[in-house]
A and B are shown apart, each in its own frame.
Chain A
Amino acid sequence: MKRTGDLDRSYLGSRAGVAPSTVEEPTSDIEISIIVILEGNAERAREIYREYAPSLRDLGRGFEFLFMTGPSSADFAAMVESLDARRGSFRVLELGHSLGHADLLKLALEHCRGEIIVTLPASLRVAPDAIPQLVECLDQGSEMAAARRWPRHDGWVNRAQSRFCNRVLNLLTGSDFHDITCRVNAVRRRVLSEIPLYGSYFRFLPIVAERQGFGVREVTVGQHRQYGGARVYSPGVYLGWLIDILGIFFLLRFTYRPLRFFGLVGAAFGAVGGAILTVLLIQRLGGQGIADRPLLLLGVLLVTLGVQSVALGLIGEIVVHFQASRNSTYRLAPTDRSAPSPGS
């Protein structure tokens, strides 16, 4: 169930008896919105706010934390009180039913007010002063800043799997980021409104944004001192990663040319199958019986797979063909002057 209007508990900030002296800025001054999607332990919200809010206060710009959570029994009111949070800077959006990550992100975008959006996973990954560093990078003209934790002081298990993951990603997508798995990014709102946000895209925001032609910079930030210990996940998690990487690889490379992918795969299967069948045919002509050879079945199956693959690619091409006749397949760079309007 999705309660629209999603019980916005940010009013708690004012109702919970926050002293008037701490109410310094009206909400319209919010410049930076930090979106945190809480998974599981809602108490994390307290920890995250306590760690990251001070450096943002020092920045002197209006900010808000927007925590997205599913049904939760956590006492956010008490949290706000204990944190002495400024009015409106600690907001919680509670949904009656948990949604996918991408949906939550989109929902959060509708509700947050800042022009700069910071995505922050619900764990302490980067040093407390990382967010101002990312924001500064945006101030210098980038449209997105992706955090890279360096130097890292956590265990070799974490580093090895992180490095492996990023290597594979860079290899497949042709991008050049060192720490996509960090997922701490600062980004201008209009960028997020122009890139597709669904499924697992949120994991690869910098790569996707770069492919849409936005200026993305990697910013080296410190790793959080508490982020340590070997993080070994269940096999299902790793499998999920692999599938997501395959997905992003396919979408970035072949969205407008599915037959290049399916055709190549199909040609490979078909070629092996065809070779097998040719060999068998030659043997048959040479007088050998082939009816009891399992190899014949393998050859037939491979050719079948090849045909199926190419056929799927052709269906994809039909979709792309009609899609391309209505949608633009390119994006113009933002022009400061003499921006010509289309079709005038």
Chain B
Amino acid sequence: MDARKVSVVVPLFNEEQSVRPLVEGIRRALDRESWEILLVDDGSTDGTVAAAEQLSRSDDRIRVLRLARNYGQTAAMKAGFDHARGSIVVSMDGDLQNDPRDIPLLIEKLGEGFDLVAGYRENRQDKTVTRKVPSWIANALIRWISGVNIRDTGCSLKAYRAPILRRMVLYSDMHRFIPAMAAATGGARIAEIRVRHHPRRHGSSKYGLSRTWRVLLDLITLAMIRSFRDRPLRMFGLAAVMVMEVCLAFTLATVVSVSTFQAPKLVFPASAIVMFGLSTYLLMLGLVGEVLVRQYQSPGVRPTHIAREIVG
């Protein structure tokens, strides 16, 4: 790893026309630094790869990674992070909506002692209803669930210290929650600065509204990972206790119904039994979870959190 190198990771999916201006922009912005660009092709079907490889031939600081198929943005970013050689890594979108001129500002902020600096977009240049509103709600939810106070988690323009990337777990579609993940699984110190945002010039947007329910379910995962990932029994135990209380309520109703009516109502004891079953099930599942975590947390596995010595 190069001590002062900056690696810029750009996932590309069908961005044939954007690649060249993007690389030029980054080149200009990082004029004075030691840098490399990782263009990660996420299974593009247009001329993206050819354009990227052409650039790479003319400058060996430009590297091209090709995923075997279209895996999605998270895997593309992860591939870039895994192969980055710099001590500082910057991620950004390949569609020219981020401005490379902001990269030095991010790096500067990183120098103030942060592990991750996220950009936030003011005056977003997107369609109002379908892009802005869901994003606004999602950000509020993510802030609340992750406990990380980030205004705009959907902005890809971010700078990281390399160690945090190695400690952060990134999979599925978790790129939306990178700051939250970095905080939850890496203990990162996070800052944010305002960045520029341009309207899309080439190609079309790859998002739609259909992802809402996915984001919601991923948020549940995030909440669970954040609070309970190494102690699932706590989570399932709490749920089991709550269900057991419902069970007790039904039992009480049974007693009341038997003592009040001549013909006892069958529905109450039946519900009580069902709730008892559910409570037991949750508790058992929590135990299974403990066993699983134990499998992955054997001695010798390095800690995932990052810590800075501040005195001493």
Contacts and interface: CB of A to CB of B under 8 A. Distances in A.
Interface of A: 210-214, 256-257, 259-260, 263-264, 290-294, 296-297, 300-301, 304, 307-308, 310-312, 314-315, 317-326, 328-335, 338, 340, 342-344
A340 B83 contact: yes
A264 B172 contact: no
Contacts of A326: 296
B268 A291 contact: yes
Interface in B268-299: 268, 270-271, 274-275, 277-278, 281-282, 285, 288-289, 292-293, 295-296
A257 B292 contact: no
Contacts of A308: 278, 281
Closest 6 A-B residue pairs measured CB to CB? Answer: A213-B68, A324-B171, A322-B296, A291-B265, A330-B75, A213-B69
B76 to A, nearest CB: 8
**Interface SS majority for chain B:** helix
B82 A343 contact: yes
Contacts of B288: 315
B171 A333 contact: no
Contacts of B274: 297, 300-301, 304
A148 B77 CA distance: 37
Contacts of B281: 308, 311
B304 A325 contact: yes
Contacts of B64: 338
Contacts of A311: 236, 239, 281-282, 285
Contacts of B296: 322-323, 325-326
Contacts of A292: 265-267
Interface in B234-265: 235-236, 239, 243, 253, 257, 265
Interface in B32-57: 43, 56
Contacts of A322: 229, 292-293, 295-296
A148 B66 CA distance: 30
A264 B71 contact: no
Nearest to A308: B281
Nearest to B223: A314
B67 interface: yes
A321 B229 contact: yes
Given A291-B267, A318-B289, A324 B63 contact: no
B87 to A, nearest CB: 13
Contacts of B293: 318, 322
Contacts of B239: 307, 311
B151 interface: no
B267 A320 contact: no
B94 to A, nearest CB: 17
B68 A214 contact: yes
A9 B173 CA distance: 51
Contacts of B267: 290-294, 296-297
Contacts of B43: 213
B171 A264 contact: no
B65 interface: yes
B282 A307 contact: yes
Contacts of B63: 338, 340
25 contacts: A212-B68, A257-B172, A257-B218, A292-B265, A292-B266, A292-B267, A297-B270, A311-B281, A311-B285, A315-B285, A317-B225, A322-B292, A322-B293, A324-B172, A325-B296, A326-B296, A328-B82, A329-B71, A330-B67, A331-B69, A332-B65, A332-B79, A333-B66, A334-B68, A342-B83
B172 A320 contact: yes
B69 A211 contact: yes
Given A257-B217, A291-B265, A308-B278, 12 more contacts: A213-B43, A213-B69, A290-B267, A292-B265, A297-B274, A311-B281, A311-B282, A318-B289, A329-B75, A330-B71, A331-B67, A340-B83
Size bin of chain B's contact surface = 35 or more
B225 A300 contact: no
Most buried by B among A210, A291, A328: A291
B213 interface: yes
Contacts of B68: 212-214, 330-334
B85 interface: yes
B297 to A, nearest CB: 8
Nearest to A314: B224
Contacts of B213: 264
B221 interface: yes
A304 B292 contact: no
A210 B71 CA distance: 12
A318 B232 contact: yes
A314 B67 contact: no
Nearest to A262: B217
B211 to A, nearest CB: 11
Most buried by B among A290, A296, A322, A343: A322
Contacts of A263: 217, 220
A101 B311 CA distance: 62
Contacts of A294: 267
B294 to A, nearest CB: 11
B170 interface: yes
A256 B71 CA distance: 12
B79 A260 contact: no
Contacts of A329: 71, 75, 78, 171-172
Nearest to B70: A213
A335 B266 CA distance: 68
B67 A264 contact: no
A200 to B, nearest CB: 22
Contacts of A324: 169-172
A315 B232 contact: yes
Contact of A259 (B83, B217, B257, B282): B217
A322 B282 CA distance: 21
B201 interface: no
Contact of B292 (A214, A293, A319): A319
B127 interface: no
